[in-house]
Structure 1
Amino acid sequence: MQTIMDIISYIDSLVWGAPVLIMLFAGGILFSIMGGFHQIRKFGTAWKTMLWKGGARGEVHPFKIWCMVMGATIGVGNIAGASTAIHLGGPGAVFWMWICALVGMATKSFEVTLGLWSRKVLPDGRIQGGTPFYIEKVPYIGTVLALLFAIFLVISAYGIGNMIQANNVAYATEYVIRHYGGGDTEVFYGRLAAGLLMALFTALVVIGGVRRIAEAAYYMIPFMSAWYIIFSLGIWIMYGYNLPKVIFDIFRFAFTPAAVAGGLAGWTVYSAIRYGFARGQFSNEAGLGSAPNAYAFAESDHPARQGFYGVFEVFMDTIVLCTMTVIHDQLTGALWERPDLSGAALAAESYYRAYGIYAPILLGVALALFAYTTMLTWEFYGEQNFWYFFSYKLKLIPEKVARWFWRFIWLPPIVFAAVSPQYFEAFWTFSDCMNGLMTIPNIIAVIYLSPVAAKLLKDFYTRHIYITGEAKGKPPASISATQVLRYYAKDFLRSMFTPTYVLIKENMMGRRIY
């Protein structure tokens, strides 16, 4: 077992070395430039796109698909992953996590747009689509890259989408049991019960396919997001006097090394960049290529519309929810005073310092819900790529057999991971490694097809929204660079200063303005 872990750790160090980090960052900058920094200047459009009523070709309402994808991105990575980032990379990792999110918003919008552009709508209205469908359009090596991506995602679905989530929910269960006086026997049976219940409740939803998963996420995402934000903001308020120092440390240690209390090795700038990017991408999955597998099934009248859903997805996941975690870990002093804690344990210490005996329940509910929705969506990601590899491309087994066989073999590891706390670090290393291997073929394809995505995005906000009546006036015949800047500025200012209730009213009256 140790030999296997050494091999995985070695591959992980290669995958998340400088070349991949540079490729991700450079790709995000390239997409930002090609899109005119649309993730910033058209952020108002991303927000107002969420009010679109749907009704175009597709299988599932676009907002429900967005909730489904958010179910995958809002996982234990927002709690355990974010805490691990600052444990391994120091406060400076937060800054690089934000940078990862800003460029990731552009990356996500490009890959989601390509996912809609490459999908196939069958005569009966069913959708065939996902990340491999645009990867295979790369000349000469596209088919090989698509097959590699599919198999890497299938394997990764056992890591980021299964064992990581199950292990952390089981940890939350153990945390509650030990807090109230339980021993090792009670902890084992508690973990086992948590694993069995997760497998059961996951099975009840995933047998209904993409529609049932999206429907479940539609009801759960708003509640669990609000739950975590409210109680995390409570910690911010209680320890608000430390906030200026925390913000200062984030920017200072992003560019300078930091020492750790207790004589332990300190944090380097490289570790801040590495873990800020790795955990940031683990959380928002920008560049990973996972989200297009679900977005391809959304009702959509233009591929770039879902691209703006992707922008808001990354913003909510990393800029909002991950920031909640990394700030309260520092505000309470847990990061500096307990260098022995990492992951969910570090977040739990922060909650305990703020909420005392109520902390296990408050954090446990958040961990359980975050992990559950992630498992639901990642089961579908794995299923879709399992079908693509063995049924659509290799034609070894029929589609229905492939999908049901995948569901059958994907569920048991949930229980194994729940009762195996000794493999916690191994699960994280395995997931990091698989995520990196997925990223390589996907980012190559997105870079190659980026002119297509950029053209679609520009067409959406300079022409399509006028034709559909979503913006006032007529589409300009030709747009100069100066006119584009004025257009962005006017739209951005309006989105920032128009009350939300006015936008909602306009949407209800059929006058959706973007």
Structure 2
Amino acid sequence: MGVLESIIEAINFIDGLVWGLPAIIILAGTGLSIAILGRLFQITKFKAVLKNMLYKGTGGKGEVSPFATWAAVMGATVGVGNIAGVSTAVHLGGAGALFWMWVCAILGMGTKAIEATLGAWSRRITPDGKVEGGTPYYIRLVPTVGPALAVLFSIFAFIAAYGIGNTVQANNVALGVEYIAKAYGFDVFQARLIAGILIFIFTAIVVLGGVRRIADVSNFLVPFMATWYIVAALVIWIKYSSNLPLAFSEIFTYAFTPQAAAGGLSGWLVYSAIRYGFARGLFSNEAGLGSAPNMYAYMTVDHPGRVGLYGVFEVFMDTIVVCSMTGIVDIVTRVYIERPDLSGAQLAMEAFYRAYGIWAPIVLGLALALFAFTTLLTWEWYGEVNWIYFWSKTLKLPEKPMRLIWRFMWVIPIIPAAIAETYMFEVFWNFADMANGLMAIPNLIAVAYFAPVGIGLIRDFLRSGKI
């Protein structure tokens, strides 16, 4: 067995461990516990969540405006996972996977709220107005084991940044470009190479400007890209409206019973629906990973509990809204049954092609490019925060050169990932799943420990009358 094969086998083995039934139980259990302790505040206080989105940062401290911070986080969560990840879940888990993605989202809305609140609660504002904060800063406050868990998290996080935030995004955009190239008769390799180079250039230009430039670009791009994709998907829902009752029937029915497949295929098991619904749902909304607090800590805000409501709305928009667009498009067009040879971005592209014909590559290709680009930007910052925590805050190496080293290292894998062979597609997904699962372990320990603190801060904010 060669070195590459050994690495792939190791990734698959670890991925299977961290995303087995125990991991699903832990994630669901944490979210369920928060929902019970918080009396399902993510649902009962949703009107306050919506009203809170109008906050302008009045009376607050931080580095980035509230909406720009939220847009940057949305730029990370609304990524290729909302298209390729959801389509992969439906491909591997059947229609029932979408139901479990919704369950993941409802529970994740509470988990993300606590994470975001803790990110703002544990940060430090320096005398010159700079923020020092992020996920490791609240993990390290856990008694006895906190400092060690924070170091572990920081290592897992900057490694994971190369999976969920870098190689997966670049590779799936290239796959979408490949589909476009084949449709219009262009050279596939050249198309993927050009895509990789363009992503490389634009990402480098933005990330060199730091967190404020990332937030400013996200503030401009995220509302446009979300609207573009939602409208494009709704057009397909309308065109295939006769299949909508069947689609929702399959989603709810096959969440609890095995689903047979057409053409003699083996079909889908309930465990597969749960497994891939939760895995891809978490891959998309990142609730429990501890990624978003690395940006929420920088929000200009007057109360930590306010930040938690932004976390609720983030997961709602990402999974309940945007992921549903893709999943239902895959189901109503019947491509998930009729094209079992396709997965990920290519499956979604086939669904859009059935509705938009020759315009499909433009409609979906633009969405893929924007989703991936904004994810690359914000995940660069997530990785940078944890890179600095490990090398500068823990090992005391000088901060400025370590930031430059990280930013240079960050952009290097983009082009190789874009031109990687198609069979590497599943490897990238499995690597990202593995790294995400490893991140979640120390973070969930801290979230579970500090859940009463987070819920208390959210309740205090809701009682304060500041909305």
TM band (smaller chain): over 0.9
CA distances 1:166-186 after superposition (whole Å, capped 9, x unpaired): 01111222122111112xxx2
Which residue type is aligned with residue 421 of structure 1?
E
Out of 152, 164, 174, the position equivalent to 1:170 is 174
Match of 2:418 in 1: 418
Give the CA deviation at 1:197: 1.1
Which residue type is aligned with residue 202 of structure 1?
T
Which residue type is aligned with residue 363 of structure 1?
L
Conserved? CA contact 1:261–1:339, under 8 Å: no
Match of 1:22 in 2: 25
Conserved? CA contact 1:260–1:339, under 8 Å: no
| 1:65 equivalenced with 2:65 (yes/no) | no
Provide the rounded CA distance (Å) in 2 between the counterparts of 1:12 and 1:266: 23
| 1:250 equivalenced with 2:254 (yes/no) | no
Gaps of 5+ in 1: 471-513
| 1:98 equivalenced with 2:99 (yes/no) | no
Which residue type is aligned with residue 340 of structure 1?
D
Provide the rounded CA distance (Å) in 2 between the counterparts of 1:176 and 1:96: 31
- Shift >3 Å, 4+ stretches: none
Give the CA deviation at 1:375: 0.1
Match of 1:311 in 2: 312
Q: How high is the TM-score relative to the length of structure 1?
A: 0.89
Gaps of 5+ in 2: none
Give the CA deviation at 1:421: 3.0
Provide the rounded CA distance (Å) in 2 between the counterparts of 1:434 and 1:107: 19
| 1:52 equivalenced with 2:20 (yes/no) | no
CA distances 1:58-113 after superposition (whole Å, capped 9, x unpaired): 00101100000000000000000000011111111111000000000000000110
Which residue type is aligned with residue 43 of structure 2?
I
Give the CA deviation at 1:26: 0.8
Q: How does 1:431-510 map to 2 (within 5 A)?
A: 431-462=432-463, 464-465=464-465, 470=466
Alpha-carbon RMSD across the aligned residues, in angstroms, is: 0.8
CA distances 1:244-266 after superposition (whole Å, capped 9, x unpaired): 11101111100001112232222
CA distances 1:32-71 after superposition (whole Å, capped 9, x unpaired): 1111211000011111111011131100101100000000
Match of 2:403 in 1: 403
Q: How does 1:242-391 map to 2 (within 5 A)?
A: 242-391=243-392
Which residue type is aligned with residue 404 of structure 1?
L
Match of 1:503 in 2: none
Q: Greater CA deviation, 30-39 or 314-323?
A: 30-39
Which residue type is aligned with residue 212 of structure 1?
R
| 1:194 equivalenced with 2:198 (yes/no) | no
Match of 1:74 in 2: 78
Match of 1:32 in 2: 35
Conserved? CA contact 1:89–1:267, under 8 Å: yes
| 1:133 equivalenced with 2:133 (yes/no) | no
Q: How high is the TM-score relative to the length of structure 2?
A: 0.98
Conserved? CA contact 1:35–1:457, under 8 Å: no
SS at match of 1:45: helix
CA distances 1:187-227 after superposition (whole Å, capped 9, x unpaired): 11211111111111001111111100000000001100010
Give the CA deviation at 1:412: 1.0
SS at match of 1:258: coil
Which residue type is aligned with residue 366 of structure 2?
V
CA distances 1:259-303 after superposition (whole Å, capped 9, x unpaired): 122322221111111000000000000001000000000001100
| Percent of aligned pairs sharing the same letter | 59
Which residue type is aligned with residue 405 of structure 2?
F
| 1:229 equivalenced with 2:230 (yes/no) | yes
Provide the rounded CA distance (Å) in 1 between the counterparts of 2:151 and 2:400: 20
Aligned residues: 462
Provide the rounded CA distance (Å) in 1 between the counterparts of 2:384 and 2:207: 10
Which residue type is aligned with residue 162 of structure 2?
Y
